[in-house]
Amino acid sequence: METVEKLIDQIIPYPADYSHRNGFSNEHIIDKLDADEKIEVEKGLIDKLTEHPEDILIVETLAYMKSTRSIPALRNLLANSSYDMEKLIIVSSIFEINHDNDMVDIAISAFRQLDNKKDAYYVYKLTGAFYHLAKFNNPTAVEIIKEYFYHKEYLVSYNAKRALGQ
């Protein structure tokens, strides 16, 4: 068994920049862990989240691991988050772990805030947000995504349809 610190360094590479994270997936590493390693890695990731609250890869990794122990830390992170995309990712991660339906309204609200045509990154934020909103598989969330099926921006339209498997 590798040391937990070494595993965590492989699971969450630093620096957290484009060249180290673009296209990166840690799922194959998580999938190889035995039960004891998963518990130790989970504890380490929760600690790392305290150290690096801005690191969304940690949040998404805890969601992938279905870490119920991380819920208090994730809720705290959500309470202190001021960025709508970050909120959307955190609530979709909490939902992925425990199916807390209270997260749906927060997700919808955060998503609506992202729909700002004056933002230079509008198209890119929306396209990524569709996939997080789709995780809820909620009728209201689905209808919101469908509103973008015929958007004038091709990338928005394409990703809205793709997020719903169409």
Q: What average pLDDT score do residues 100-118 get?
A: 94
Domain count for the chain: 1
Residue 159 lies in a domain: no
pLDDT tens digits for 55-76? 999 999 999 999 999 999 999 9
Boundaries of domain holding 68: 1-80
| Strand, coil or helix: 53 | coil
Residue 94 lies in a domain: no
This prediction's pTM: 0.91
Q: How sure is the predictor about 151, in pLDDT bands with cuts at 50, 70 and 90?
A: very high
Q: How sure is the predictor about 2, in pLDDT bands with cuts at 50, 70 and 90?
A: low
Q: What average pLDDT score do residues 97-119 get?
A: 94
d(CA 38, CA 23): 23
Residue 21 lies in a domain: yes
Residue 130 lies in a domain: no
* Residue 13 pLDDT exceeds 70: yes
Q: Which residues contact 44 (CB under 8 A, 6 or more apart)?
A: 4, 5, 7, 8
The closest of 73, 90, 72, 70 to 81, measured between CA atoms, is 90
| Residue 87, pLDDT score | 96
Residue 30 lies in a domain: yes
| Residue 89, pLDDT score | 97
Q: What average pLDDT score do residues 108-126 get?
A: 92
Residue 58 lies in a domain: yes
Share of the chain above pLDDT 70, in %: 99
Counted residue by residue, the chain has a size of: 166
Residue 161 lies in a domain: no
* Residue 103 pLDDT exceeds 90: yes
Please tell me the least confidently modeled range out of 2-11, 59-68, 75-84, 126-135.
2-11
d(CA 14, CA 56): 13
Q: What average pLDDT score do residues 152-165 get?
A: 96
Residue 20 lies in a domain: yes
